[in-house]
Amino acid sequence: MKNDTLQLIDFVTSELSKAGFTIAPDTNRVAGLDFLITAPTGKTSELQLRSIQVEDEENIKIQKLDYGQVAGHRFLGLVTVIEDAPRAFYIIPSATFTKADNVIFFEHPMEMMPHLSHWEVKVFTGAIPKLAQYEISNFYKI
């Protein structure tokens, strides 16, 4: 995907704007594509943006050290990319990772080497109905 980061940000900005949200870079974070999103109500949340090229990848891994603490105001924004174009945008609450279902969401604690601890999200055809509950259209009321 050419200019994939810019294309992802444009796609996410467009999807959030349709719902009345604003998005701005989180200048306090260094790693990843991290943003602050503000709802029409004024409530601000943190969003770490990730993407998955569904033809080539089956999952994404999120390093716990990179993501930070699980909190009610922190979300993972997952964009599925098909044929080099963003197709769907899911906003997954960070609390989802603490209750891993071991079907779509997995937690991999590495107690002996905590820097290797990570969460995993698997994307496959059977996961789409479950992921649909995290679509942007269901996120309008944060």
In CATH terms, 4-138 corresponds, of 3.40.50.300, 3.30.565.10, 3.40.50.2300, 3.40.1350.10, to: 3.40.1350.10
Q: For 19-37, what is the mean pLDDT?
A: 80
Q: For 8-26, what is the mean pLDDT?
A: 91
Domain extent listing, the chain: 4-138
Closest CA to 121 of 72, 84, 75, 86: 75
pTM of the model: 0.86
φ, ψ for residue 124 (rounded to 5)?
-150, 170
Cβ neighbourhood burial of 123 (10 Å; 0-12, 13-18, 19+): buried
Residues 139, 133: Cα–Cα separation, whole Å: 9
Residues of the chain with pLDDT > 70, as a percent, come to 92
Average pLDDT, the chain: 86
When comparing pLDDT for 81 and 141, which is higher?
81
pLDDT computed for residue 106 by the predictor: 93
Q: Please say if the pLDDT value at position 52 is more than 90.
A: yes
Closest CA to 37 of 27, 24, 50: 24
Q: For 80-95, what is the mean pLDDT?
A: 93
Residues 21, 127: Cα–Cα separation, whole Å: 27
